[in-house]
Structure 1
Amino acid sequence: MVTDAPKNAIILAAGCGSRLRPLTDLRPKPLIEVNGTSILHNALRNLETVGVEEVTIVVGYRKDAIQYACGSRFGGLRIKYVESTVFDRTGSAYSLWLARDALLSGDCFLLEGDVFFEEDALRYLIICRSTDVAAVVPFDDSMEGSAVLLSQNGFISGFRLKQTASNLVADGPKLFKTMNLLRLSAPTLKATIVPTLDDIIAAGARQTYTEELFGYLIERRGLQLAAARCDGLSWYEIDNAEDLQIAERIFRNRMNAYTPTRDSQTR
């Protein structure tokens, strides 16, 4: 077990997952399964393996299903829940703000609830010498969504939202895809991230996304966010049915499916 990993983690899992309908008509996106293992259970298993002890899950859509699937303990993890009652009209930064008590509890991992990834992605975050770090991979023509630029010394210098293959040009800056997996330090959370979240929500900007938050923190508040290069690791962000098929292909031969039984969880 890694001994210097954060003991706490936050998973943002409140969204509707509308692009995965009808699969999400009766269950939330984090409970969608990849080769028999749900996105959320995979994340919890990986967090437990690297030494996390407590996880706060922000729930909203079909919250009861997540609470039933994970209970108050998952293996050796203590599970807490924070509910968003306005999940259908707020962005992920609002969900993060709701979990501000957990953010102030010490160093933590921050995960989005739609990323299926292998355990080593967390280990790459842990071994990075910087105290605040985000997992990234090179942006290729099969990807879309948020991208970042890196400075020469390996820090994220800016965010670019809604990127596609058309944004990749031979003579343009090299883009990297954010994996929505971060490790954040207690001092940064207390002095920078939580106060900025307070400001954003007080200003009424409830539809802000976490990518916009971190872009603002880097460009306006001096956040030094290092990039952990996870080139070659297996992972996929699952937004639609095609993404799910790709994730299943990636992990079919790379990881053993893991489906926790009720006996493995203390409810």
Structure 2
Amino acid sequence: MTAEGPKNAVILAAGVGSRLRPLTDLRPKPLVEVNGTPILHNALGALEAVGVEEVTLVVGYRKDAIQYACGRRFNTVAIKYVESLTYDHTGSAYSLWLARDSLLSGDSYLLEGDVFFEVDVLRQLIMTKASDIAAVAPFTEMMEGSAVELSDDELISAFHMKQTSASLAGGPRLFKTLNVLRFAALTLRNTIVPALNEIIGSGATRAYTEELLAFLIERRGLQLAAARCDGLKWCEIDTRADLQIAETIFATRPRLPPRPRSDSGGEA
């Protein structure tokens, strides 16, 4: 691992965001604002701050709104678009498969388009001495969704889907995945993309990225290190309640400066 992070990133931003309606009736979830800053703009700004030069956005629902809001460049970051025509009945692994050409371009960050986070989350990925890394934080009673167990050497040893506060009683210590990851080019080329081809080729188009990673850890020997983000600010935004929590967490965060709009209007 080098001291620098990847120059490329993929952000999955194709979903409908039905649990955030009516906020997502006219705009996609990645453009929902937290204290005035769209979730997607926050992610792009953080990626720019750690040296990312090119981002591939997988878009679907209300794709034109995302292309208008982000354009072909976001400040110094070049943006490419990949369109999912079946976003309403496919999972995140399918969106990732659509971006496989970008995944083959070198070391890369992988983000879900509904996570609002501070830039130190990415810096934690850079500082963690491993090739393939996932940002995690302790799973608390306020959380739900996918969770992981960690081994003694801080590798992810198992995934658990659809966890709730009840999962904390009497079981192993769990950590929440932030859906912010970093992968080495070798892993993407030899492990991630071939597995995506296999899964999507088998017809499992509704699979989620977490299911892909669980399969690779359990069956293919993927060593995915955990970057502990205890104490850092982040929030996965699926519901109106999540949005309220995010606005509280980031209440004192300075707003980003306005971005020049002279190069808007990206194309899928």
What's the TM-score bracket when you normalise by the shorter of the two chains?
A: over 0.9
Give the conservation status (yes or no) of the 8 Å contact 1:3–1:51: no
Residue 254 (structure 2) aligned to one of 253, 256, 262: 256
Q: Distance in 2 between matches of 1:3 and 1:74?
A: 24
Q: What's the RMSD between the two structures over aligned residues? A: 1.1
2:62 counterpart residue number: 62
Q: Distance in 2 between matches of 1:261 and 1:4?
A: 25
Structure 1 counterpart of 2:39, one-letter code:
I
Q: Distance in 1 between matches of 2:124 and 2:116?
A: 16
Mapping of residues 49-198 of structure 1, within 5 Å? 49-169=49-169, 171-198=170-197
Structure 2 counterpart of 1:237, one-letter code:
E
Structure 1 counterpart of 2:174, one-letter code:
L
Residue 257 of structure 1: CA displacement? 1.9
2:204 counterpart residue number: 205
Q: Distance in 2 between matches of 1:221 and 1:193?
A: 10
- TM-score by length of structure 2 reads 0.96
**Cα 1:76–1:150, aligned 2, differ >3 Å: closer, same or farther?**
same
Residue 4 of structure 1: CA displacement? 1.1
Structure 2 counterpart of 1:7, one-letter code:
K
Q: Which stretches of structure 1, 4 residues or longer, exceed 4 Å deviation after superposition?
A: none
Structure 2 residue ranges without an equivalent (≥5): none
Q: Distance in 2 between matches of 1:102 and 1:44?
A: 16
Residue 80 of structure 1: CA displacement? 0.2
Q: Distance in 2 between matches of 1:259 and 1:33?
A: 15
Q: Distance in 2 between matches of 1:13 and 1:172?
A: 33
Residue 261 of structure 1: CA displacement? 3.4
The alignment partner of 1:82 has SS state of strand
The alignment partner of 2:27 has SS state of coil
User: Identity percentage over the alignment?
Assistant: 67
**Cα 1:119–1:222, aligned 2, differ >3 Å: closer, same or farther?**
same
Structure 1 residue ranges without an equivalent (≥5): none
Give the conservation status (yes or no) of the 8 Å contact 2:75–2:259: no
Structure 1 counterpart of 2:70, one-letter code:
C
1:222 counterpart residue number: 221
Q: Distance in 1 between matches of 2:13 and 2:171?
A: 35
Give the conservation status (yes or no) of the 8 Å contact 2:75–2:260: no
Give yes or no for the alignment of 1:245 onto 2:244.
yes
Residue 259 of structure 1: CA displacement? 5.3
- TM-score by length of structure 1 reads 0.97
Structure 2 counterpart of 1:104, one-letter code:
L
1:266 counterpart residue number: 263
Give the conservation status (yes or no) of the 8 Å contact 2:56–2:82: yes
1:9 counterpart residue number: 9
Residue 262 of structure 1: CA displacement? 3.4
Give the conservation status (yes or no) of the 8 Å contact 2:58–2:82: yes
Structure 2 counterpart of 1:130, one-letter code:
A
Q: Distance in 2 between matches of 1:124 and 1:174?
A: 21
The alignment partner of 2:250 has SS state of helix
Residue 172 of structure 1: CA displacement? 1.9
Deviations 1:52-89 (A, max 9, x none): 00000000000000000000000000000000000000
Residue 3 of structure 1: CA displacement? 6.0
Deviations 1:70-116 (A, max 9, x none): 00000000000000000000000000000000000000000000000
Q: Distance in 2 between matches of 1:266 and 1:178?
A: 34
Structure 2 counterpart of 1:185, one-letter code:
A
Q: How many residues align?
A: 263
The alignment partner of 1:178 has SS state of strand
Residue 266 of structure 1: CA displacement? 3.1
Structure 2 counterpart of 1:149, one-letter code:
E
